[in-house]
């Protein structure tokens, strides 16, 4: 059984020093590939380094996350274009829109401008884009309807939007990626949403080191990771037991399969083939 982690952040300072160990453990349980998403100009080189160290298993993604929009340099877009041009295997991400508690602190007009630039770049380069969306699904849908469709795919990562919006996004080229955050949603709502997603559009992810599967936080079946507090002043404040990593995608897989009333093997194969197809632009 092979699984594809369609969205994670192995370059995150909280787990960066543990990457060899985390990848080895994940591969032991069948996690064959990882789409590693950058979030700002500062970590794009790290993502690139990881993809060079693990060329057969890491798909690099470069993008400016909405939380870091205010920190962009005047040359950020040229730098991004250069990173993508010089890395044919790279996708665009993580990009997006956020009206949540963190996003509210960042001018939404700025967020939209930066997001649209990157979304258009992904379309022009014929590469998929991995999108973060918090409390802004109406805005996102309107932008995608105006700019789309997106034949090379847009990944709605950690999708928690409504079931009703799924067909609208899907017809524009969206894929729906599910993480441990799904386990915090009321089960009937999660099941209804999952059942609306076309089978060829389902992806699985961890969003590691975040999105630790909520209902499993104290379970022995959860695979914890020891945090690395030496490389980040903020990491010392992070409880290592709350850090997620790719091996835990098996918990997401089990939960999604149960809601879809399918076997784990069926969902693993389906989502794996979807991800391979989505990221196959590098083989063209």
In a domain, 234, yes or no: no
Percent over 70 (pLDDT), the chain: 89
9 is in an annotated binding site: yes
For the chain, what is the domain count? 1
Q: Count CA within 13 A, CB hemisphere, residue 103.
A: 18
CATH of residue 197? 3.20.20.140
pTM score of the predicted model: 0.92
* Residue written as token pair 């962009």: 72
Residue pLDDT, tens place only, 220-232 = 345 556 654 433 4
Question: Whole-angstrom Cα distance, residue 284 to residue 280?
Answer: 7
82 is in an annotated binding site: no
In a domain, 156, yes or no: yes
In a domain, 226, yes or no: no
**Residue 163, domain extent:** 3-219+242-280
In a domain, 230, yes or no: no
In a domain, 54, yes or no: yes
Residue pLDDT, tens place only, 25-74 = 999 999 999 999 999 999 999 999 999 999 999 999 999 999 999 999 99
In a domain, 132, yes or no: yes
In a domain, 202, yes or no: yes
Task: Find residue 5's DSSP bridge partners.
Answer: 34, 204
157 is in an annotated binding site: yes
In a domain, 137, yes or no: yes
284 is in an annotated binding site: no
């Amino acid at each position: 059984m092979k699984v594809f982690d369609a969205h994670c952040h192995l370059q995150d300072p909280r787990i960066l020093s543990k990457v060899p160990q985390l990848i080895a453990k994940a591969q032991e349980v069948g996690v064959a590939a990882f789409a590693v998403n950058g979030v700002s100009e500062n970590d794009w080189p790290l993502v690139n380094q990881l993809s060079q160290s693990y060329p057969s298993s890491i798909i690099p993604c470069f993008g400016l996350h909405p939380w870091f929009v205010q920190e962009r340099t005047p040359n950020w877009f040229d730098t991004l274009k250069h990173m993508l041009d010089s890395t044919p295997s790279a996708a665009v991400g993580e990009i997006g829109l956020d009206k949540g508690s963190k996003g509210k602190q960042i001018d939404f007009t700025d967020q939209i401008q930066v997001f649209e630039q990157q979304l258009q770049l992904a379309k022009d380069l014929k590469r998929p884009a991995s999108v973060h969306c918090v409390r802004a699904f109406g805005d996102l849908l309107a932008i995608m309807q105006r700019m789309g469709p997106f034949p090379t795919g847009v990944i709605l990562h950690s999708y928690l939007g409504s079931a009703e919006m799924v067909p609208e996004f899907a017809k524009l080229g969206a894929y729906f990626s599910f993480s441990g955050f799904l386990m915090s949603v009321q089960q009937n709502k999660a099941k209804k949403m999952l059942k609306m997603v076309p089978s060829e559009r389902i992806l699985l992810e961890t969003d590691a080191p975040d999105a630790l599967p909520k209902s499993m936080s104290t379970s022995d079946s959860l695979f914890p990771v020891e945090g690395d507090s030496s490389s980040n002043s903020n990491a010392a404040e992070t409880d290592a037991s709350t850090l997620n990593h790719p091996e835990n995608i098996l918990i997401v897989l089990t939960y999604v399969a149960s809601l879809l009333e399918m076997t784990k093997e069926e969902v693993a194969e389906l989502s794996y083939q979807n991800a391979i197809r989505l990221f196959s632009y590098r083989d063209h």
